[in-house]
Structure 1
Amino acid sequence: MPEPPPHPLGDTWTGQRPPGGNSLTLHTDLLGDLQVPGAAGRGAELEALAARAAIYATRARGDGTRRAYRSAWRGYEAWCRSLGREPLSGDPDLLAMYATKRADDGVAVSTLRVDLAAIRTAHQLASIPLDLRNPRLAMVIEGITRGRGTRPLRQATPAVPEILRQLLSACPLPGTAIGARDRAMLLLGFGAALRRSELVALRLGDVTAVPGRGLRLLVRRSKTDQHGQGQDIAIWANPSDPLFCPLAALDTWLAQRHLATDLDWSVGDSARQDRPLFCAVTKAGQPTGIGLSDKAVVRLIKGAAARAGLDPERYSGHSLRAGLATAAGNAGASLPDLMRQTRHKSTQVALAYLRPADLWRNNVTKRMFTAPDTDES
């Protein structure tokens, strides 16, 4: 089968049939190689359509999801092979057995759901039906969920303002390029409640200073905006405390960033504005213009936490986003205001940040166990 032309967005897909076999190997960027059984009778036209479907399905997921899906699929594939079973069988009973095995291994329900999503996606790419609503499979999943609960076994510690100040103080000096970059990443990541992938995806043209107010950020694409409609976020400046001010931190970093060689002033302004906002820095302190991976955010937060005397294992790339949401909830933010800043689509997820503060607000036990206010008789 001829290989389809490259997709204009840069993703690739190829399909090939092993000599003498009746299976088809799909090379996908999302899950790696998928061995599709019983595909010898599929015509070239069907294979070409599957190729295009694989391309678009792959592009529909972010980098973090792609890594999680590939890891989940490899685990399921290896387990099936150890039993002599075909991973792409469309058999819900086989999937129920795997879910039971994963539950016995002690994985969280959220991890199991990622496994199921990856396995379902592999079947979709191969055009093989798989019914996740099969009664037996659904009963097994419901039993696991009831038995283990859906609360995550471990959550990242939120980098609330008090913690964020400690992380900032543990960064290299602002006068250095890496210190300026790290401080700006921490403050913008917190203020805009950015996911780590969103933080490293920012371009120079995505951040604009608004006189008398602060910063306006454009998040071009996110977990809840896979179609790339874009979302604007505002962050107020803090002129009374320049060391805890997103605008001041960004200005300091941009003074260093503009020294990078990738900002060739002979090219058009639009090309410069599309360069990464945050980039790698050499050991000599020279910004390179090379964009960062989302893992750089994890290393930044854990490294700053360790230098600040905090337990780095308690912090992750989600700590900045969780820190803003938690602090906003503690400050009495309304649900719509919180969701506008964090861009949550699920009210249940956003409410989780408000509930800890709501436990104490207007709690009926206050008048029973605390001294009455002085203005009350």
Structure 2
Amino acid sequence: MSKLDPYVKAATRDNTRKAYQGAVRHFEVEWGGFLPATAESVARYLVDHAETLSVNTLRQRLAALAQWHLDQGFPDPTKAPIVKKVLKGVQVLHPAQEKRAKPLQLEQLAQVDHWLATAIAEAKAKNDRRAELRHLRNRALLLLGFWRGFRGDELTRLRAEHVEIVPGQGMTCYFPVTKTDWQIKGTTFKAPSLARLCPVDAYLAWINTAQISKGAVFRRIDRWGHVSNDGLHIDSLVPLLRSILKEAGVVSPELYSGHSLRRGFATWASANGWDVKSLMEYVGWKDVYSAMRYVEAADPFARHRISEMLALDSSE
């Protein structure tokens, strides 16, 4: 292995690297394409998958192919006019509405937290350490994920040595690298101490019981109640969240995903008077479009606003 390899590897996030590897493999092995590719073959690849893959997935496949060619020193065929035209044609002929995760509302968060608190107390009474640890972890993950608006990968990458508690005020969470930290300066997020649904109390209860002082905060727990040294895998987060919601009695848990906590907080903040700039700064969005994609309007059909205006018109 070259001394350059660890640095080159570190420059790309693990999830992105795995996705790109899978995309290149799909083009070359499953579809039967040749590398380096021509613009015409890439265009045919898009056409062959226009009806089965979303436009966003096709864009990711193009990005992966582009990166492969650049890494190997070949011209990038994905920038050719024919490829761009075909992709635009796919968007026109196969439009698809963007799927968004259902936001977890504050009322549902309180419902799940109450269920978890009860489950923790019952596990302690029965001396069921595995159940106690599992519910403590899930409670901390849920509350911190909601009040900080964390992405799923941020929750799985959070490390105990990068968390600092400020008594009576809150906690700071540091990440050496985040999705929008293009200059890799590191990012610090703050989460508040609250009178109820407190992420700080839930975090402390989890790490103190699990005896975690360094390494991944959120970890796997085996059937004997042993806490793993490894953090949760990103692919396990959505099934875990849905399992928590199902156990707590939330309706249709299959509609929620790792973005549900982030969308839930954004919706709550917007409904409670946060302006877009404040929301962007708190959550870490770089543009207004990203922020608005996550906000579920409190009055999505403008029914209340229009009704109020109609009432004013009729009184005049």
What is the TM-score of this pair, normalised by structure 2? 0.84
Q: Which has the higher contact order (CA 8 A, sep 6+)?
A: 2
Instruction: Say yes or no: does 1:74 pair with 2:25.
Output: yes
Output the amino acid matched with 1:129. P
How big is the shift at 1:257? 2.5
What is the aligned partner in structure 2 of residue 221 from structure 1?
177
What is the aligned partner in structure 2 of residue 281 from structure 1?
221
What is the aligned partner in structure 2 of residue 87 from structure 1?
35
How big is the shift at 1:297? 2.2
What does the per-residue CA deviation read over 1:268-320, in whole Å, with 9 as the maximum and x for residues that have no partner? xxxx5x42222232333343433222233223201112223332321122221
| Cα contact 1:198–1:221 (8 A) shared by 2 | no
| Cα contact 2:65–2:78 (8 A) shared by 1 | no
Instruction: Say yes or no: does 1:254 pair with 2:207.
Output: yes
How big is the shift at 1:115? 1.0
Where structure 2 has 5 or more consecutive residues not aligned to the other structure, the ranges are 125-131
| Higher radius of gyration, 1 or 2 | 1
Structure 1 CA distance, aligned partners of 2:308 and 2:259? 37
Work out which of the residue numbers 272, 275, 288 in structure 2 matches 1:347. 288
The ranges of structure 1 where at least 4 consecutive aligned residues each deviate by more than 6 angstroms after the TM superposition are 360-364
| Cα contact 1:187–1:249 (8 A) shared by 2 | yes
What is the aligned partner in structure 2 of residue 4 from structure 1?
2
Output the amino acid matched with 1:4. S
| Cα contact 2:103–2:296 (8 A) shared by 1 | no
What is the aligned partner in structure 2 of residue 32 from structure 1?
none
Output the amino acid matched with 1:278. F
Higher helix share: 2
| Cα contact 2:148–2:190 (8 A) shared by 1 | yes
| Cα contact 2:263–2:296 (8 A) shared by 1 | no
Seq. identity, %? 29
How big is the shift at 1:358? 7.6
Output the amino acid matched with 2:16. T
Change in Cα spacing, 1:205 to 1:284, as seen in structure 2 (3 Å) is: same
User: How many correspondences in the alignment?
Assistant: 303
| Cα contact 1:306–1:312 (8 A) shared by 2 | yes
What does the per-residue CA deviation read over 1:166-220, in whole Å, with 9 as the maximum and x for residues that have no partner? 3334544165122111100111111111111111211112222223322222233
| Cα contact 1:194–1:342 (8 A) shared by 2 | yes
Structure 2 counterparts to residues 180-219 of structure 1, below 5 A: 180-219=136-175
| Cα contact 1:332–1:357 (8 A) shared by 2 | no
| Cα contact 1:280–1:292 (8 A) shared by 2 | yes
| 1:232 partner SS | strand
What does the per-residue CA deviation read over 1:131-169, in whole Å, with 9 as the maximum and x for residues that have no partner? 4332221111112223334642x2221122122233334
Change in Cα spacing, 1:103 to 1:166, as seen in structure 2 (3 Å) is: farther
How big is the shift at 1:76? 1.2
| Cα contact 1:301–1:317 (8 A) shared by 2 | yes
What is the aligned partner in structure 2 of residue 65 from structure 1?
16
Work out which of the residue numbers 119, 124, 134 in structure 1 matches 2:80. 134
Structure 1 CA distance, aligned partners of 2:93 and 2:254? 27
What is the aligned partner in structure 1 of residue 104 from structure 2?
159
Output the amino acid matched with 1:69. Y
Structure 2 counterparts to residues 194-343 of structure 1, below 5 A: 194-225=150-181, 227-239=183-195, 241=196, 244-258=197-211, 272=213, 274-309=214-249, 310-343=251-284
Instruction: Say yes or no: does 1:366 pair with 2:311.
Output: no
| Cα contact 2:146–2:265 (8 A) shared by 1 | yes
| 2:85 partner SS | helix
| 1:132 partner SS | helix
| Cα contact 1:167–1:301 (8 A) shared by 2 | no
Structure 2 counterparts to residues 162-181 of structure 1, below 5 A: 162-171=107-116, 172-173=119-120, 175=124, 176-181=132-137
What does the per-residue CA deviation read over 1:225-252, in whole Å, with 9 as the maximum and x for residues that have no partner? 255322122222222x2xx111211121
What is the aligned partner in structure 1 of residue 61 from structure 2?
115
Output the amino acid matched with 1:92. A
| Cα contact 1:110–1:150 (8 A) shared by 2 | no
What is the TM-score of this pair, normalised by structure 1? 0.72
Where structure 1 has 5 or more consecutive residues not aligned to the other structure, the ranges are 12-54, 261-271
Output the amino acid matched with 2:19. A
